[in-house]
């Protein structure tokens, strides 16, 4: 009888220690992933000055591009707005002529979109497409000119 009475409190203590360790591990994981990384993301957005928004393509239609190869028969109509670092010489002024940077940006965006397969335009992959466009445009311009890419409309046929 004495052995079973000793086992019960020992098992209770072991169980409470295991539950306590799991709880401490869960809280540590939450702090490490949510709070620590959330603060860094907020700081990254706060570090840059307010951007200039630039709409690519036709003001009403956006961009219309054939995707998946010439013979695929698939077309993409997409509205893209870029949040860019304010620039004195390369930012589009809204006139009839395009600035050199806007021509480079349009060329890069069209090339990136045309290289994608139809499967790459899945809604679950939209963030990847935005990041790809941002990285390619920044690579073309030679510095971090684009803060963010926004897709305002999207029609795939």
| pLDDT score at 18 | 92
CA separation for the pair 70, 63 (Å, rounded): 17
Round to whole Å and give the CA distance between 29 and 39: 15
pLDDT score for 119? 84
**Whether the Cβ atoms of residue 151 and residue 78 lie closer than 8 Å to each other:** yes
Q: Where are the domains of the chain?
A: 1-47, 52-156
pLDDT at site 151 = 87
List, run by run, the mean pLDDT of 10-residue segments along the chain (157 residues).
65 90 88 69 59 83 80 83 75 63 88 86 87 90 86 86
pLDDT computed for residue 88 by the predictor: 61
Phi, psi of 124 (to 5 degrees): -70, -20
Three-state DSSP class for residue 72 = coil
pLDDT at 131: 92
CA distance 102 to 106: 6
52-156: which CATH topology? Tetrahydropterin Synthase; Chain A (3.30.479)
Instruction: Give the per-residue pLDDT at 90.
Output: 47
- The structure's pTM equals 0.63
């Amino acid at each position: 009888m004495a052995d079973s009475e000793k086992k019960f409190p020992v098992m209770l203590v072991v169980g409470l220690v295991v539950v306590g360790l799991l709880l401490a591990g869960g809280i540590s994981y939450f702090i490490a992933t949510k709070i620590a990384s959330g603060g860094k993301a907020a700081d990254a957005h706060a570090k840059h000055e307010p951007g200039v928004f630039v709409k690519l393509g036709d003001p009403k239609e956006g961009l219309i591009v054939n995707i998946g190869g010439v013979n695929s028969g698939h077309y993409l109509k997409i509205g893209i707005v870029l949040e860019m670092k304010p620039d004195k010489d390369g930012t589009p002024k809204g006139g009839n002529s395009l600035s050199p940077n806007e021509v480079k940006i349009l060329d890069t965006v069209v090339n990136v979109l045309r290289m994608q397969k139809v499967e790459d335009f899945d809604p679950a992959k939209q963030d990847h497409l935005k990041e790809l466009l941002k990285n390619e445009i920044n690579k073309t311009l030679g510095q971090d000119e684009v803060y963010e890419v926004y897709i305002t409309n999207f029609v795939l046929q």
